Structure 1
């Protein structure tokens, strides 16, 4: 693999500020991943051990979960280490998407593992990578699909249909065997034949037997990353909820102060000229309540906790009593999840995408109000993979990744015109101009015979020009057919590197690359030089 940096424009301005001019936004964050910040954060974590959940109980909960989905010797070692007071964590996380979803999920896990290894060497103490599966999220349509590049070089969507998903947490939605059948059949049909295909299909079928999207996701992530000691955590695990209960109580008791802190920081962010990446609404409790399987976002009205439709309604005391009896009914939203992560785990640093960096900026004061400190932030590593044949095509047509990102239609049109050795395009345009130059004076003259003939002459002229253009388009079509193979190469470049007009890592699933190159491809990713600046990099295979 040859890796070349390729800085990308765009992305949320606050995240760009974090990555490229940290001093301008430092007041909103807990620090970037420098040696001195690591050292200081480690000292604070040692001093604040009593503020977090009990390590032994946490390790037991995670052992039970990982025994089921991620039963590797290195994971068991990581969990043994996590019980020790001096062990720290690098965390990353994502929703549980079909077959692990887009490549960025894989890159986030890779970043967390490599950052944990690096921090462990620097600080000379154990640092464990943990992947936080956001199983409590309830948007089924966000997680029920993924995309592959098929044998014909087209973007294909695979999807698990489940009409009864409703608003339940994804972790609690049972996906029966029949629902898995179609995407698995599609996957086998779409993947090219390779020496790795049987193994990959076996992995995906075994994952589908897990009974839920979260179980399937965990099964695949464990298969890919368990050997690196990466521990998996499902945020919807009922056993985890019991450990989180004291912190949920604090979130409810201090809810008004917490809400005020979000609003104050949101105002600071907007005054700095940045857009908010998460809603900060008046009266928002920033908590969900699970009612009859549906995950309801709580708001506050006149001292009462309710939801937008008034389905449930509780006083603060009633909500706290419910928490004591049914902690499994409570769930974090996007602004309280970072706080809960820091309560559960001794987080040295957390791996985030650009959008996540932007909404984490809203939580700075909230951490302080809850007696915590925001962990260090590591922008996840970001890649585009260029396979060997594709690289040759780029060179053949003189294209760069920036060209592809900007769209190839105009460049493709100019290339096709350049293949016109007879200069037919120019000659057709000259013929139309010459005809018009001869015909226009004639139309003027026939007007002296009868005024109505001018309009008829103009209409006649347009018909003749249309016929010339018709022939011109036919010639262009014939030329395109002559260059059909080349034009397919142009399409393959675009669909491979910018599918659906988006970065490859935001669309395509890892299974295409594992099927083509085997698990050694992932091992190669783990050996790449680390870069925690957020700079996008091109991997030339």
Structure 2
């Protein structure tokens, strides 16, 4: 892709990101206590050494064995680049760069794609900088998430496509990755436009669960880049949770760490992103639900230790510890402990996430310390706006550059108007002259007949109002001369900022891939994760 097809601007210049994120990228000292190493190339040598010392051969063996099993269960061998990376993961000189996301249908919003490409590109950049090591991009499937309503739909060309799921799925409250694809063909696949690429259909047609379908789709899109997908809702992998579960059940260590961090974040002027609970664990019930574990039941309850919310089930601490030892797969970490579980399983160096994820990772540094797990480098994913040829042409015709489109609409109208030769209408000077004239009249009235002062003031106010009304009418008249250009500007602004937000938070990748099959390759060329800037990608 030509350099002209990709431009960047500071995140702060977009006006679309939180103060915490822009302060992090600016390396504000107030945030320094909440992360370990800043995401820059030179920081990775120390991160490699730290992780290499902490990550055991047993952990690596467990990971590689189960990943082979996960791919084997799909019925086909892993694509060559993926298989090669699985082999590399068996070596103690191989590390991962990880991103994670919910199992959104058909990838959901564009940032799903941007996250994965950020992980791929960073892996490539690290290999070039540190040739003695290997780096594998990993997509962590959020299979244990139980919020079905968040993931059961996606938007394409202004239409929302939804899947009701198996009977009772909306109220089931179980891990979404386990959901069978009952009714998917009739409710969703058969409704898709015919131009949707076959790979998107086949991923769901050839899978039994939502987890398997999401893996198939991510693999079909990124197989050539060696992306490894991991589903951590596996009995073999959950064995790694035993020490974490013991410490959490006995000491409630994570909540204590988060609460202390939250107090410091608040003092520094930042609002905590996620809520921590006394026990940051869920329990996977026999009925398939994922229910919160709650210590210290209400007064008068039969169970005075730990209850499984929404059920009659309760356990003493000793019983819960015994379960954690014999059946760790019955436990599921919540948002506070899931990152720790991830870093225990993987030889990981960096986690790539969106702005909200960066914010909650900043609550977790002391949690990692409490469990003796190295805290990774936290890297904001690449964020981008895509400009089709048509939209790029409209922008150029209006005399605007890509960074201009982030300005408020009123400011853009003035800019376009100036370029089109529109006069800027302002009667401020006339208002001042009018006020001066009436001031003289008021002074005359004061000398000759003070009872007329109020009358003069009323006339002055009336005249000022009339002049202001004329200013508005003249402005509208000037604007009407370029009404077509302003209408085009407003339409373009709405198109590039759907529902007033960034395109990446609403639009699906199919809206681009259907007309630009080389889109992913464009992003691979364009994205530079460690540049830490917002990208504008123009159709090549």
Compared CA separation, residues 157 and 113, structure 1 to 2 (3 A): same
Q: Does 1:102 align with 2:109?
A: yes
Query: Which residue of structure 1 lines up, in the alignment, with residue 145 of structure 2?
Result: 137
Query: Which residue of structure 2 lines up, in the alignment, with residue 11 of structure 1?
Result: 17
Whether the aligned pair in 1 keeps the contact of 2:105 and 2:154 (CA below 8 Å) is yes
Query: Which residue of structure 2 lines up, in the alignment, with residue 527 of structure 1?
Result: 525
Whether the aligned pair in 2 keeps the contact of 1:129 and 1:229 (CA below 8 Å) is yes
For the residues of structure 1 that align with 2:79 and 2:258, how far apart are their CA atoms?
A: 40
For the residues of structure 2 that align with 1:394 and 1:262, how far apart are their CA atoms?
A: 46
Equivalenced residues, count: 466
Return the offset for 1:392: 1.4
For the residues of structure 2 that align with 1:487 and 1:212, how far apart are their CA atoms?
A: 49
For the residues of structure 2 that align with 1:414 and 1:183, how far apart are their CA atoms?
A: 44
Query: SS at 1:393's partner residue?
Result: helix
Query: SS at 1:527's partner residue?
Result: helix
Q: Does 1:272 align with 2:262?
A: no
Query: Which residue of structure 1 lines up, in the alignment, with residue 292 of structure 2?
Result: 297
Whether the aligned pair in 2 keeps the contact of 1:70 and 1:226 (CA below 8 Å) is no
For the residues of structure 1 that align with 2:140 and 2:267, how far apart are their CA atoms?
A: 32
Query: Which residue of structure 2 lines up, in the alignment, with residue 536 of structure 1?
Result: 534
Q: CA RMSD in A?
A: 3.1
Query: Which residue of structure 1 lines up, in the alignment, with residue 469 of structure 2?
Result: none
Return the offset for 1:528: 1.9
Q: Does 1:81 align with 2:61?
A: no
Please give the per-residue CA displacement for 1:378-411, whole angstroms capped at 9, x wherever unaligned. 1111110011111111222344556654564896
Query: SS at 2:97's partner residue?
Result: strand
Of the three residues 223, 226, 230, the one matched with 1:226 is 223
Please give the per-residue CA displacement for 1:199-248, whole angstroms capped at 9, x wherever unaligned. x432122112213332222111000111111110013234432x334244
For the residues of structure 1 that align with 2:500 and 2:58, how far apart are their CA atoms?
A: 44
Query: Which residue of structure 1 lines up, in the alignment, with residue 460 of structure 2?
Result: none
Query: SS at 1:132's partner residue?
Result: strand
Q: Does 1:164 align with 2:162?
A: no
Of the three residues 175, 184, 188, the one matched with 2:189 is 184
Compared CA separation, residues 121 and 23, structure 1 to 2 (3 A): farther
Query: Which residue of structure 2 lines up, in the alignment, with residue 58 of structure 1?
Result: 63
Whether the aligned pair in 1 keeps the contact of 2:20 and 2:270 (CA below 8 Å) is yes
Whether the aligned pair in 2 keeps the contact of 1:87 and 1:125 (CA below 8 Å) is yes
What are the residue-to-residue correspondences of 1:302-451 with 2, within 5 Å?
A: 304-309=305-310, 311-399=312-400, 404-405=405-406, 408=409
Compared CA separation, residues 514 and 271, structure 1 to 2 (3 A): same
- The farther-off stretch of 525-534 and 265-274 is 525-534
Please give the per-residue CA displacement for 1:97-125, whole angstroms capped at 9, x wherever unaligned. 01011111111101111111212222221
Query: Which residue of structure 1 lines up, in the alignment, with residue 119 of structure 2?
Result: 112
For the residues of structure 1 that align with 2:96 and 2:110, how far apart are their CA atoms?
A: 23
Query: Which residue of structure 1 lines up, in the alignment, with residue 54 of structure 2?
Result: 48
Return the offset for 1:361: 0.8
Whether the aligned pair in 1 keeps the contact of 2:154 and 2:162 (CA below 8 Å) is yes
Whether the aligned pair in 1 keeps the contact of 2:526 and 2:537 (CA below 8 Å) is no
For the residues of structure 1 that align with 2:126 and 2:312, how far apart are their CA atoms?
A: 47
Whether the aligned pair in 2 keeps the contact of 1:106 and 1:510 (CA below 8 Å) is yes
Return the offset for 1:49: 2.5
For the residues of structure 1 that align with 2:411 and 2:23, how far apart are their CA atoms?
A: 33
For the residues of structure 2 that align with 1:503 and 1:311, how far apart are their CA atoms?
A: 45
Query: Which residue of structure 2 lines up, in the alignment, with residue 286 of structure 1?
Result: 280
Whether the aligned pair in 1 keeps the contact of 2:122 and 2:529 (CA below 8 Å) is no
For the residues of structure 1 that align with 2:245 and 2:364, how far apart are their CA atoms?
A: 18
Return the offset for 1:319: 1.3
Return the offset for 1:539: 1.0
Compared CA separation, residues 121 and 320, structure 1 to 2 (3 A): same
Whether the aligned pair in 2 keeps the contact of 1:92 and 1:350 (CA below 8 Å) is yes
Whether the aligned pair in 2 keeps the contact of 1:70 and 1:218 (CA below 8 Å) is no
Return the offset for 1:174: 1.4
Query: Which residue of structure 2 lines up, in the alignment, with residue 259 of structure 1?
Result: 255
Please give the per-residue CA displacement for 1:450-487, whole angstroms capped at 9, x wherever unaligned. xxxxxxxxxxxxxxxxxxxxxx9xxx9xx99x988x78
Query: Which residue of structure 2 lines up, in the alignment, with residue 449 of structure 1?
Result: none
Q: Does 1:173 align with 2:179?
A: yes
Normalising by structure 2, we get a TM-score of: 0.79
Compared CA separation, residues 257 and 5, structure 1 to 2 (3 A): same
Please give the per-residue CA displacement for 1:490-515, whole angstroms capped at 9, x wherever unaligned. 56523431112111111111112221
